[in-house]
Structures are given as structure tokens and as C-alpha cells.
Amino acid sequence: MTTDLELAPPHPAVAEPGPGEAFTDHMVVMDWTEADGWSAPRLSRLADLSLHPGTLGLHYGQVVFEGLKAHRRADGTAGVWRPRDHALRFRGSCRRMAMPELPEDAFTDAAHRLVRADEGFLPADGSRSLYLRPLMFGSDASLMLRPSRTYRFLLMAFVTGGFFGDGAEPVAVHVSRDHVRAVPGGTGEVKVAGNYAPTFLAQRAAEAAGCRQVVWLDAVERRWVEELGGMNLFLVRGRGERAEVVTPELTRTLLPGVTRSTLLTLARRLGHRVVEERIALDEWRAQCEAGVVTEAFACGTWAVVTPVGRVRDGDGGWTVGDGRPGPVTTALHRLLTDLHRGRVPDEDGWFHPSTR
């Protein structure tokens, strides 16, 4: 008789890693206790964790995360995009979940360490980036319904690129009428794990309707467009240099994307008027049909800038512009990827080198 349970790993080995599965070789780990605060960061090989079955974060969802990217610039430097903005948002997520806040310097230091260890995954031609995933969870072995007294921070990375590259095909998006993502007083404005699994059914319904992403409406009136599954939404009104770039204003039920903030700055720099306001779904439709809204696009760290060509709502729907990527979407996408690659001056200091 054996006393140890011989458990197979919960994840079968993947032969051909798909998007989000091509992990790099290393991870950074830090622990927090009430007595000692944060430990020094430890860089180690990426490996399975050993967790007590009663780990509090697994049961009660005391889990927060971030998503940021590292790029290789044309001059060979590898670095992280807007790490301090992600660190600040991470702190806000921790605060909302009654978790200890990780100082910005510890967050950015972990990111630079991982990029230095795994920069071999960033080819010189810039065709791939690293998606960095910081994660923090309550690590007490306790099923008491209260905040954990110990925490673990992990930083891992996977290789990404080319999924929505230049000339990306526009995606169709699907309005969810059955579910909502965020409610006033809830957690919509922070990146907490519990926000995502409840959206999987709506994502499945979107895919069954031939769409790539869910369009979320506000929970109270079911009228105002908030965002997409893991991306913020922009509309373009009018054409040419006079075109207005419009995005839903930050109510506390949508996620304040770093990419959203970047694109607001870049759109202004390209000479557009930018508007943050409430956008009603029926106005989005009416303004597309009247030719006022000429383009729509989704944006986020993972997907960068992705044109939206069609909106489906129940049995109906509408096309945005001519359904093709529009000139404003394309110009913003190009400018952002040029900045990532260091092909245009980084006036805002958004790129933080990890190597030199």
C-alpha cells in the first residue's frame, strides 16, 4: 500500500502549443506574509506549483492578474511597454480584493528580470512579442471566508505575435443580451480572475453566431456599450483628418485599458478630436446606417488594434463602414506597432528597456 497519491499532472503535455500556451522557460516568484511583507524576487525555471488543496485563492477567487507585453526594438533592445501603468492598475486590483499591494518597483523589477532571462524568445525581426502575465493569489491553506494572510505573486510569459498582425481581418462581434459582465459596485474596473469565467458562456454564444468577441452592455439599462470580452472599443465618426475618435467613457464598470489610454494620446497626436462619452447601442447602429460611424475597432495588450467589421444582435446586425479595416484604424495600428518596435520616437517614455 502506498501512502502517497500518485497524481498525474492536471494538464496533459501539449505537442503544438496554441495561442497563450507557448510559455517561455522562466518565472518570477515572490511571497508575502504579514510579518515580513514581500520576499525578494526569485527567478526560477517555469515549473508546476505544489498547492495545498485548501488554498484560499482557489476556493474564493482572491486572485488578481495583469497582462503586459515585452518587445524587441529595431535597435536590438528588449523592453517592457508601459510597465508602471500596469503596476498601478495591479495595485488597484489588489486593493479592491483586500490583498496587500505590490509596490510598482517590485512589479517592474520582476518584469525586467523575466525579460532578461527569456529575451531569447524575442526574435530580432520583431515578429514575436512576449505577453507577460503577473498573477497573485491568496495562498493560505484555509477555508475560512476571510482574506488570506499569505500571498504568492507569480510572473510568467508566453510568446505571441502575428495573430492580429498588419492587415488583420476585421472581426464580427456579438451583443450579449443574456449576460452582463460588470455591475455598479462590482469589480468591472479591476483585473480580477472572477470577472472572466462568468463570460465564457457568452463567448461561446458569440462563437456559435460566427463572432469573435462579445459586446457588453451596461447591467442597469442594457443600453450603453461598455467594452468587449478582453478589449476596449473605439468608434470613428466622419472621415479623414476631421474624423472623431470616440470611446465609451470610463464608468466604474469597464476596464481602463492601457492600450485605450495609449490610443487616445496617439489619436490626438494624429490630429483627431477624441471623445470619451456614453455610447448607446442603438446610436451605434443608427450612426453606422447613416454613414456617420465609419470605422470601429477593439484594442488591448493582447490583440493590439483589431478592426470590427460587423455587429450581430440577435437575428439581426449591421456592418460598420464597408466592413473593411478603415484608414484611422490602420493608421493607429501602424503607429502603435512602430512605437513598440522603436521605429518612431517614443516621446512619452512608454518603452522601458530591460536590456541594453
Ligand X SMILES: *Cc1c(COP(=O)(O)O)cnc(C)c1O
Catalog residues that contact ligand X under the rule CB under 6 A: 67, 191, 227, 230-232, 255, 257-260, 300-301
DSSP string, 18-70: -TTT-B-SEEEEEEEETTTEEPPPEEEE-------TTBHHHHH--EEE--EEE
Residue number with CB closer to ligand X (62 or 232): 232
Comparing CA positions, the residue from 126, 26, 111, 144 lying closest to residue 71 is 126
| Min separation Cβ 301 and ligand X, Å | 3
The nearer residue to ligand X, 259 or 329, going by C-beta atoms, is 259
For ligand X, the closer CB: 248 or 257: 257
CB 286 → ligand X: shortest distance, Å?
Answer: 25
CB 63 within 8 A of CB 194: yes
- Closest approach, Cβ 321 to ligand X, in A, equals 23
CB atoms within 10 A of CB 349: 8
User: Which uninterrupted H or E stretch holds 353?
Assistant: strand 351-353
Distance of closest approach, residue 128 Cβ to ligand X, in angstroms: 18
Instruction: Output the smallest distance, CB 3 to ligand X, in A.
Output: 43
Dihedral sign for Cα 346, 347, 350, 352, please.
positive
Q: Which is nearer to ligand X, 26 or 82 (CB)?
A: 82
Strand pairing category for 304-313 and 63-65? unpaired
Shorter beta-carbon distance to ligand X: residue 300 or 326: 300
∠ CA 234-239-244, rounded to 5°: 45
What gap in Å lies between CA 165 and CA 252, rounded to an integer?
31
Least spacing, CB of residue 216 vs ligand X, in Å: 8
